[in-house]
Each structure stands twice: as C-alpha cells, then as structure tokens.
Amino acid sequence: MQQKIVFIGGPGTGKSSVLRYLKRQGFTCMPEISREVTKQAQKEGIDQLFLTDPILFSTKLLEGREKQYIEAENTKDRVIFFDRGIPSVYAYMRYFNTEFPDVFIEKSIQYKYTKIFQFLPWKKIYRSDNERYETFEQAEVISTFLYDAYSELGYEIINVPFDSVKNRANFILSHL
C-alpha cells in the first residue's frame, strides 16, 4: 500500500529542508508550491497574491496540490512525502479570516493522506525572505490553524522533534 506522508507547520519550521534531505535519499517528494505561485504573481506585478486575491491564490494552490496528489497516485512508489497537503490551503484561509467555497473542504475530504507530521515553530531556524513575509509570532499562530484543520479531518498528528535535518528525517522514517 502506498503511503502519502504530509509535513505541516508554519513557515520556517524546517519542512522543506527535511524534504530535500529525503529526496537526496531517493524518496519521492512533492515540494511546497506556494513559493512558485507567489513568484509567478510577482513576475506579473502582484507583490503578494495571497494578500491581494486570497481566493485566486488559494485556488491555484488547491489545483497544484490536487495535481501533486494525483501524480503521486500514478507512481509505483511506496512512500511519497508532501510539503503541505490539501487541507493546508483552507487552514491558511481560516488564519486570514477569509471566507472560502466548500470545495476546499470537499477536496480535503476526497484526498486522504496516510500520516501527518507537524514541524513546530522553532525560533533558532526561522528566517523570513521575499516569499515568507510572516513573523515568527505569526508562524506560531499559523501552526495552530494547520493543526486544527488536520485534526478536524480525523488525522493523528505526530510532532517532529527539534533536531538536525538528518535526525528529523530519521524520526519520520522510524514512524512509517
């Protein structure tokens, strides 16, 4: 049976670093797509698409994550890692108090993941950049919205300990 493993957590918690490590170890990994959506919008003259048009931004994320899920389904790989999953989209909209159509929750119910690993905010490694505009304090709050969204869908959430990238990856692999 194929395992679809999702990494959740606020921005700057180390998800992408662990995902890159696992990819180097030969695992199939689906990267975070919000940076690409943001960069494309910036090329089109929109500095922060999520803040300008949150529904359009979120729709693009939903489409991209659904595409990743289907792509994963069509592989023969036993384990696939995702840097965020479909429910993460509406968790962010809830954080920003944005009304959204039911399709975001419907897709979250339709596409199921095997395990959810949460990366908690870690001040030591947090950095902001052009696509990551949230403060550390905002990242802490976002983390709770992500936890709530996945919990509401019935997922058991496993917290990843603060440690080196390699040790965090090994922790995750030991729970599969």
Buried b (16+ CB within 10 A) or exposed e, 113-138: bebbbbbbbbeeebeeeeebebeeee
Task: Write the CB contacts of 120 (distance below 8 Å, at least 6 apart in sequence).
Answer: 9, 13, 143, 159, 160, 162
What confidence tier does 62 reach under pLDDT thresholds 50, 70, 90? Answer: very high
Residue with tokens 């790989």: 77
pLDDT per position as a tens digit, 20-29 = 999 999 999 9
Structure pTM? 0.91
What pLDDT, on a 0 to 100 scale, did the predictor assign at position 39? Answer: 76
- Average pLDDT of 130-159? 89
Residue 144 pLDDT more than 90?
Answer: yes
Report domain extents, the chain. 3-174
In angstroms, the Cα distances linking 99 to 60, 81, 91, 168 are 16, 29, 11, 35
Residue 130 pLDDT more than 60?
Answer: no
Q: Which CATH architecture has domain 3-174?
A: 3-Layer(aba) Sandwich (3.40)
pLDDT per position as a tens digit, 1-15 = 899 999 999 888 999
The burial of 82, by beta-carbon neighbours within 10 Å (0-12 exposed, 13-18 middle, 19 or more buried), is given as buried
In angstroms, the Cα distances linking 115 to 39, 47, 81, 157, 175 are 29, 34, 10, 7, 9
What pLDDT, on a 0 to 100 scale, did the predictor assign at position 50? Answer: 64
Q: What percent of the chain has pLDDT over 70?
A: 93
Sheet holding 3-8, edge to edge: 28-30, 79-83, 3-8, 115-119, 157-160
What confidence tier does 51 reach under pLDDT thresholds 50, 70, 90? Answer: low
Mean pLDDT of the chain: 91
